[in-house]
A and B are shown apart, each in its own frame.
Chain A
Amino acid sequence: MSAITLRELTKVYPNGVRALDALDLEIADGEFFALLGPSGCGKTTLLRTIAGLELASGGTVRIGERAVTNLPPGQRDVAMVFQDYALFPHMTVRDNIAYPLRIKKVGKAARQDKAAATADELGLSTLLDRRPGQLSGGQQQRVALARAMACHPKVFLLDEPLSNLDARLRLEARTFLKRLQRELGVTTVFVTHDQAEALALADRIAVMEGGRIRQVGTPTEVFRRPANTFVAGFIGSTPMNLVPARVDGDALALAGVRLPVPEDARGQLADGETVVYGVRPEYLDYSPEPVPEALTGQVAVVENLGSFSLVSLDVPAEDDTATSVQVVVPEGREPDPGDTGWVVPRPGRSLVYRDGELVGGATAPPVPAPRTGVGAEA
């Protein structure tokens, strides 16, 4: 068992910066877990505190059954892959992979066999005698992964695993990484600032801001039901539309129209309350003809994104200023700038936020049951 349990974890740097603020988190055994957030949100500090490279100022870290809060990194049985891979330039690929085994005093023959076997799993067999400087970025990353795997740690920690690769390689590496994690079944925590990367790779995501966790959930949960406006704006390749609204009886008044209160929020809103209405551009349908229960406005910008276009409509806001609503329109149906359009939210996909928090939002999702590793053939 190597679940990771964090209780009230706090890290205050000597200069007074509170990087982690009484943080509680449980990462299940075998889970592929993402720490996501803008730079400075504490995600890297959290990863480094789990690794033991930073010592917690307060709270506890448990890995499996062991309390490791004050153990040095070498005794925590974790392996970390750094953003720059940190391969030793003066050692061959073989020696790099075998390095942790050498420190653990494994005999030379045994550790070289292990290095060769691990390299083989990752398709590095032909590169064993090369030096890191002679490898491509993708190969270097796999050597770093092999070095992490070679001593069978309980936990993998990956710091921005894809950010040093070029765009094409990144997609390839993403698929590779997800497959590898599934095959090894080792609890893996990775840090990223790229929401698409987190959504694509992780079993669950913790979205962080200012040293706190703003939401933990599966990619589907954080994408469909962001718990607050911060997560709503951060997740998704196009941020969620957030339009100021006022509760008017059993409807919401916004942008000059009245829309029914979304199902989840029904019965929880007081008449006259000011709230924020949120709906993703992907969950809006554009119509060139007037339709009931739709927002309407003038097309300002059309951005072609390949198989679809992102259309920005200027709609009037409650306080007579203009606000912008974005909608995804499939190819071939793009309006022209200046057209008047109507957008209808799909049922069950719009949300209401009060004071930045989701109204009627589900409580924190349960931690998924521990998952054991599945074999390569599964």
Chain B
Amino acid sequence: MEKSYIVKQISIFSENRPGRLAAIAGALRDAGINIFAFSIAEADGFGVVRALVDRPEDAYQTLTELGFRVSFTDVIGVKMRDEPGGLSEIASILGDAGINIEYAYAYSGKDAAVLILRVDLVEDAVRQILARGGELLKASLSR
């Protein structure tokens, strides 16, 4: 039950220099893979590009074949009301349940705003959010 809400995010190791994001995005474009959301985390000289795509397995294979270091990470996507207080609601649910957010990024789409979260206790997070009336992205959205 909880598993159906756990979304596979792809994470790609990238050097921190011009053209690296273009190389990743270009490879996904050429493979006809759509990116729903992405973020870049940067450190000293390198970064990690994280993305939700419509075909994560294909994205993994495409990028790996091109020599990129890629891994899957379990994340969840929580729909937020696109108005003041939307983020606060979700964050409170997790905070109250003692679930730690490791990182998050968000996009504001046509239907709703979506918060993508990597948390320490992913199945607990799914249960808590559903129990308190929250709405989660289905993993099947991305095949």
Task: Report whether chain A binds chain B.
Answer: no
Q: Footprint of B on A, CB under 8 Å?
A: none
Q: Footprint of A on B, CB under 8 Å?
A: none
